[in-house]
Chain A
Amino acid sequence: MVTTSPALQVEGLHKSYGDVVAVAGLDLEVHTGECFGLLGPNGAGKTTTIEICEGLLASDSGTVRVLGRTWDDDGRELRELLGIQLQDTQLAEKLTVDETLKVFQSFYSESRDVGAVIDLVELGEKRHARVGTLSGGQKQRLAVACAMVGDPELLFLDEPTTGLDPQSRRQMWNLVSQFRSDGKTILLTTHYMEEAERLCDRVAIVDHGRVIALGTPAELIDSVDFSHLPPPEPRKTHATLEDVFVSLTGRTLRDE
């Protein structure tokens, strides 16, 4: 896996909004063909990082290479190669699922068939339903379908399962696994440790704009020092990634 050139390479990334430092010297490398998870509490700099990688935000300093290209030199080409799902996009409510995907499809010089993508995200029955009538999970799958219709090499998913019920979440997991099994690369952010554990080949835990831990879920779980954690619940036989997360970022709640 490490033999191929990285799908995404970030070095020394900095970004501030006024006095607020969002990203403070972040380094990251995502290999081609892996599913990489970016974890971290709210305000850790995940979305800022991902939006800089997506070419939607300019960084203050640092380098970003996506699929071996930079946004400054190959921006147009990169747009063709990336699939992007943003955290808070609301698609046009008056259009149908089919119409929405055809609009997105039209932007790409090479694309997938709309019907095939609709089947992939299991919206076949809703193909001619208006977006406004879809459930939260269906809307989210449509958002992912919009990201996939351009047949991307690299898929960015920013909290794709936040707010979804367990069933919808599992449907989304299947989708991601399928995409990955085609040899494509995924970078996702999530708050659900179980999700990261299941889907991700490697994860990075980000806090205060820096990567504070990196590795496979299993490696990170093994690295936990339980001495400063509250005594584990008796029924627990082994640590989960959730333990890693909490031991690294603390227990206090962070506001949105």
Chain B
Amino acid sequence: MSDAAALAEVLREKRAQHLTRRDRGFKGLPLVQLTLVRFREFVREPEAVFWTFVFPILLAAGLGIAFRQQGLEQLQVGVVSRPGADTSVVAAMRRDSTLVLRAYDDSAGALALRTGKVALLVIPGMARDSVQYIYDRGRSEAASARLVADRAVQIGAGRVDPVRSSDTYVSEKGSRYIDFLVPGLLGMNLMGSSIWSLAFAIVVARSKKLLKRLMATPMSRFQYLLSFLFSRLFFLIIEVVTLIGFGYFAFDVPLRGSLAALMLIALLGAVSFGGLGLLVASRAKTVEAVSGIANFVMLPMWVFSGVFFSSSNFPEAVQPFIRLLPLTAVNDALRANMLEGASLAAVSPQLLVIVVWGVVSFLAALKLFRWR
């Protein structure tokens, strides 16, 4: 081969190694590659998969079983019978199947009441015409145990009710604890996975100077942030389908609203929490710092936003603030959709809260974001 031919060969080889965007095709697009990075980093982190998908299901299963309704509610009642006390009180209470009676002496009875083993302590008097109830007025099952026990005692002593009443029992799907819980868990999961997945990945990249290295390439910062959103959307679908599907098939949790609307609420929620995650990650330099910030942001919402119990338990004065929290808005909208079959229009105040949080936190994050 002559020198000229050899040179031509070298040049041809060099050209073959040279690729333009067109040569690299769809999979070579930066947004596609960046989104693939998110996927790969997620699925190669088994703990992340567990916390995102398995944990909420285990939680729902555990709580669903613990709080399932077993026919009639049983009320635990302690009886402290002193020697020579009247026995007709105990006999009367035995006739009421709602009451489960346990006998104690004085000190054991006080302990059982204090530790919540019994809701009510009954002390029959020496004569037929007296009985003493000891209970905590603030506990709802204690108050109802007092009413039920007293009714049994009075009837046993010969009381005749002047009004004849009849009861019709209904069992409504949608009013059980599991029905309340599943939408709340979904909301909590959307918040947790959006905030953690963004905050962790970004802060790790920043602390390893990878963010700085990416800044030294022609990479678009907007596409970098967009790739988090894209991968979130994909995982979001899996999250919603597994948790809602589990509730629906295992516990018969109702899905009364439109599924498209449910998905849209979840999507808006995830994107909005993504903005919050970006804000959480905007300046932190270490994983420790970002964990603290993320918990600081999320903890009040776990407590106030009605995940495990209704936020109506909090005083009226703080209700307007609670309603303005993004997780409250997401949970309320999810519950309205699933349990009441509410339309999107009916939950528009909640959707507005979600969107405003998303936009404000995203803009604030862009302003504060430290790329190095």
Residues of A at the B interface (CB closer than 8 Å) are 54-56, 76, 79-80, 82, 84, 86, 88-92, 94-95, 99, 102-113, 116, 146, 150-151
Contacts and interface: CB of A to CB of B under 8 A. Distances in A.
7 contacts: A94-B41, A109-B218, A110-B18, A112-B17, A112-B19, A146-B213, A151-B18
B77 to A, nearest CB: 58
Nearest to B224: A107
Interface in B185-234: 205, 208-210, 212-213, 215-219
Contacts of A79: 216-218
Contacts of B159: none
B157 to A, nearest CB: 75
Contacts of B219: 107
Contacts of B44: 94
A107 B208 CA distance: 20
Nearest to B30: A106
Nearest to A76: B218
A55 B41 CA distance: 29
Contacts, number: 90
Q: What 4 pairs between A and B have smallest CB-CB spacing?
A: A90-B208, A79-B218, A106-B33, A84-B216
Consensus secondary structure, chain B interface: helix
A63 B133 CA distance: 89
B32 A89 contact: no
A87 to B, nearest CB: 8
B107 interface: no
Contacts of A86: 209, 212-213, 216
Contacts of B216: 54-56, 79, 82, 84, 86
A95 B40 contact: yes
B28 A94 contact: no
Contacts of B33: 102-103, 106
B151 interface: no
Contact of A92 (B20, B210, B212): B210
Given A90-B210, A109-B218, A150-B217, 16 more contacts: A54-B216, A56-B372, A79-B218, A80-B218, A91-B210, A94-B40, A95-B40, A103-B33, A105-B19, A106-B29, A106-B30, A109-B20, A112-B18, A112-B19, A113-B17, A150-B218
A18 to B, nearest CB: 17
Contact of A90 (B21, B209, B218): B209
A89 B40 contact: no
B34 interface: yes
Contacts of B17: 112-113, 116
B37 A89 contact: no
A56 B17 CA distance: 29
B16 interface: yes
A110 B21 CA distance: 7
Nearest to B41: A94
Contacts of A99: 36-37, 40
Contacts of B164: none
Contact of B37 (A95, A150, A151): A95
Nearest to A103: B33
Contact of A89 (B28, B209, B218): B209
A79 to B, nearest CB: 4
Nearest to B45: A94
Contacts of B215: 56
B139 interface: no
B21 to A, nearest CB: 6
Most buried by B among A56, A94, A103, A110: A103
Contacts of B37: 92, 95, 99, 103
Nearest to A91: B210
Interface in B1-52: 16-21, 24, 28-30, 32-34, 36-37, 40-41, 44-45
A110 B20 CA distance: 5
Contacts of B212: 56, 86, 89
Nearest to B223: A107
Contacts of A84: 213, 216-217
A110 B215 CA distance: 18
B98 to A, nearest CB: 58
Contacts of A92: 37, 41, 205, 210
Contacts of B205: 92
